[in-house]
Structure 1
């Protein structure tokens, strides 16, 4: 963590993948180039092993959760403990392909809080021994001036956690979700709008300086609630109307 700023500032885009229950991370440095794409997908490693076999092992771990730390270490040994350079289209470089269903939660925190948040999350996992599936994705985004952007007026770090979600089988994750959300909130975090969170109007008003201005603009531009739904009513702290324009 002491060299994190040099990694983030040393390239156009930086991302790291942390394997819970280990000291292992995979770092990605991304820059634009005019080189010819050289990516060569492997059906065996990326599909048969990286998807089907890995998902089968995760499914077994839902019955034997103590296997999760071993699975994380094994995955890093096979897929993460390598150094490689890849040239391809930007969408294929930036997208982190997750072929199986997951529970997902992601918050943005001020960039300078990255180290302390990751250490607190790691300490909680070690103390509780909660079997957290890989990966924990950490990425960095420049600040902007969009009223409801999680990066509003601050350079931010997004930290994304997941749990495997097999078909027709519940996997316990609420304890992990609550601990993660509490840690992120303590350090000024803002939840990703498109992912799981429990916040509503009162909490958001304290996080976004322009919250009231945005709500006023929304009411002016959508006085009849054409673009509202039950989730947005919760987010904006409104009473459920149960009547939406089709």
Structure 2
């Protein structure tokens, strides 16, 4: 089993928390988007935009107007910059997979990506989607401009020089100040990555994380997957290589690892663990021992993105990087003491500190701990226990994943949270872009 597997998460979990919208609109262009927002506001309806519906929370739920942005997917402008980067303006509804393909056709690419490419760019940045890399931030740090439709139906451009405070919540603000119609990204020349995936003893991983030549600092992108109830992990080290480097992954080997084992067999083992929970420890141990190493070179998006088809629930917390090892130890102790059985690996990734108001990596080097549970297994006691454990380290929840925090606690975790509340209130005093879930998060 080389990778984890996917779900249709917003539909899996948040459907029970979402109301039936009065209007569902798929605007074909910005003019129709403006008209729909104005009409909804005039009729006293709340308006929420839906990207790919990838969030595990009801952040996009609305009993008013649901805006689906898929048709706002144009590639608008490509502007090379003196420093070698390029500013690319795209429709906010473009899916990451299509964006990557369009960039590649122009010899361009994003500095970093997560491991799923089904999200829209609007949804990905608005919920703080990230990849891994000690010197790299989340996707929202690659945003240099945004165009959004306000609660009054005005079209506003925002960037660090123009409407800078609005820009903060336009690029990472859960759609709380307007509906994104276009996003400008700073991208780089396309590049290749060498992927090295190896099973390691967990203790070796934890002991080798830090230092200038450690696993985190010594690689462009590093992550690992720990198999609960074992002391084994799968490590993934991805590093840039010259464009002429050739070491393609054998297509048969790729299919066996990514489809047969990571999706097909993984679905079977999770089903077995659901029927017979006592087998979970043995299944995880067998899976960890059965992992094989592989090394290949491919264009960066092909290395970053993995096929994921097994349905699950997920909670992810960002903790200070120097707190990762003790936090994992506490989670391990809780799992063994509680008797909770978890057939899904725990995913660990890393990010540089940044200054985005609502970024989970605001002001600190960050480690991300993502816990998953198979869709048919109970999850709440596990997730709540992890939430309590990370609280001692100031853990911040991923905005697109399950958690139970509200405004009072979030205001303690984010130094600029009061500023975010203020700008949201100024931009949308009547709560056109709100819903009950956002009201709990922001406190109004």
Q: TM-score, normalised by structure 1?
A: 0.89
- Residue among 308, 328, 351 paired with 1:98: 308
State the Cα distance separating 1:40 from its structure 2 match: 2.9
Number of aligned residue pairs: give it.
232
Task: Identify, as 1 or 2, the structure richer in strand.
Answer: 2
Please state whether the residue corresponding to 2:216 is helix, strand or coil: helix
Match of 2:146 in 1: none
**1:2-39 alpha-carbon deviations (Å, 9 max, x no partner):** 32111111111110111111010111111122224612
Query: 1-side partners of 2:288 and 2:356: how far apart?
Result: 37
Match of 2:391 in 1: 185
State the Cα distance separating 1:140 from its structure 2 match: 0.5
Contact 1:106 1:159 in 2 (8 A): yes
State the Cα distance separating 1:73 from its structure 2 match: 1.5
Query: 2-side partners of 1:61 and 1:233: how far apart?
Result: 38
Match of 2:230 in 1: 22
Contact 2:266 2:310 in 1 (8 A): no
Larger Rg: 2
State the Cα distance separating 1:226 from its structure 2 match: 2.5
Contact 1:37 1:89 in 2 (8 A): no
Taking a change above 3 Å as real, the CA distance of residues 144 and 205 of structure 1, as seen in their structure-2 partners, is same
Task: Identify, as 1 or 2, the structure richer in helix.
Answer: 1
1:131 corresponds to 2:337: no
State the Cα distance separating 1:230 from its structure 2 match: 2.2
Match of 1:228 in 2: 434
Match of 1:63 in 2: 275
State the Cα distance separating 1:96 from its structure 2 match: 4.2
- Residue among 77, 81, 85 paired with 2:289: 77
Match of 1:46 in 2: 258
Moved >6 Å (runs of 4+): none
Query: 2-side partners of 1:53 and 1:211: how far apart?
Result: 44
Contact 2:318 2:367 in 1 (8 A): yes
Taking a change above 3 Å as real, the CA distance of residues 124 and 96 of structure 1, as seen in their structure-2 partners, is farther
Contact 1:104 1:160 in 2 (8 A): yes
State the Cα distance separating 1:85 from its structure 2 match: 1.4
1:113 corresponds to 2:323: yes
Contact 1:17 1:136 in 2 (8 A): yes
Instruction: List runs of 5+ in structure 2 lacking aligned partners.
Output: 1-205
